[in-house]
């Protein structure tokens, strides 16, 4: 698509400019919008198709961005249709044949567990945390028992600002802004970021049954967007 993939926006090359010379940076609102786009796509695949479709490889490079900065889930090369009402082998297909992607694949898949909606939700949770911290789950900083989920979990709620992509924290500031308006903006943004991180953490917990359903994810994110709109931080 015209604007490439989400991967290119989250982790641009050393010369982070598009063809028109504009810096490749996603605003807070754009990130929220794209996260809603992806959640809505998964909700459709999981809950609104005749038979659930499991993507199995959700990650930034498989989220494409169109000319209007709308996110689209692509690359269904590993996707599986789950025929829940029959004994068809597709319904019981083991994940052992899935390649997935390190850092995004649900941990239970490594043990040969069946593919599931919850597996996609885990990948989405990691993606959501990456979108707002700016950190890839495969970063060199994550080793031993530290991963992106644990890194965010240890910081929320006290150190939300500390773990957030710096580009989001100074967005919208101007020399004409009053101290009170800046403080009000910062408070709203921090509250929204805290909720976003909590959603990401709820999606990426290790136990599949404890993960938030994707329809609830979309509801929470729409609520965050309305909150920003109400506080005049959404143009």
Please say whether the dihedral angle defined by the alpha carbons of residues 100, 102, 104 and 110, taken in this order, is positive or negative.
Answer: positive
Task: Report the alpha-carbon distance of residue 124 to residue 61 in Å, rounded.
Answer: 13
Task: Report the alpha-carbon distance of residue 228 to residue 231 in Å, rounded.
Answer: 5
Task: Report the alpha-carbon distance of residue 100 to residue 71 in Å, rounded.
Answer: 20
Long-range contacts of 219-222 (CB under 8 A, 24+ apart): 220/195, 221/32, 221/35, 221/36, 221/39, 221/196, 222/36
3-state class of 71 per DSSP? strand
Between the CA atoms of 204, 209, 215 and 220, what dihedral angle is there, to the nearest 10 degrees? -50
Is 57 a catalytic site residue? yes
What size, in residues, is the chain? 235
Report the run of H or E that residue 8 belongs to, with start and end: helix 6-10
Name the catalytic one among 37, 43, 57, 165: 57
Helices 28-43 and 214-230: angle between axes, nearest 10 degrees: 150
Task: Report the alpha-carbon distance of residue 74 to residue 77 in Å, rounded.
Answer: 9
Active site residues: 57
């Amino acid at each position: 698509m015209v604007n490439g993939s989400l991967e290119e926006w989250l982790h641009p090359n050393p010369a982070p400019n598009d063809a028109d010379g504009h810096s490749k940076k996603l605003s807070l609102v754009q990130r929220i919008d794209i996260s809603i786009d992806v959640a809505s796509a998964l909700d459709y695949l999981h809950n609104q198709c005749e038979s659930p479709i499991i993507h199995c490889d959700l990650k930034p490079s498989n989220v494409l961005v169109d000319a209007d900065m709308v996110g689209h889930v692509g690359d269904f090369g590993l996707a599986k249709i789950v025929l829940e009402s029959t004994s068809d082998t597709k319904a019981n297909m083991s994940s052992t044949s899935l390649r997935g992607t390190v850092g995004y694949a649900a941990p239970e898949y490594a043990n040969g567990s069946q593919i599931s909606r919850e597996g996609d939700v885990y990948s989405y949770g990691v993606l959501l945390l990456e979108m707002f911290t700016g950190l890839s789950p495969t970063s060199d900083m994550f080793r031993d028992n530290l991963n992106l989920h644990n890194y965010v979990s240890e910081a929320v709620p006290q150190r939300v600002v500390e773990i957030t992509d710096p580009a989001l924290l100074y967005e919208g500031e101007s020399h004409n802004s009053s101290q009170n308006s800046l403080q009000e903006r910062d408070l709203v943004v921090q509250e929204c970021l805290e909720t976003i991180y909590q959603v990401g953490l709820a999606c990426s917990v290790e136990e599949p049954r404890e993960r938030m359903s994707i329809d609830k994810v979309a509801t929470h994110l729409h609520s965050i967007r309305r909150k920003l709109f109400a506080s005049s931080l959404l143009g």
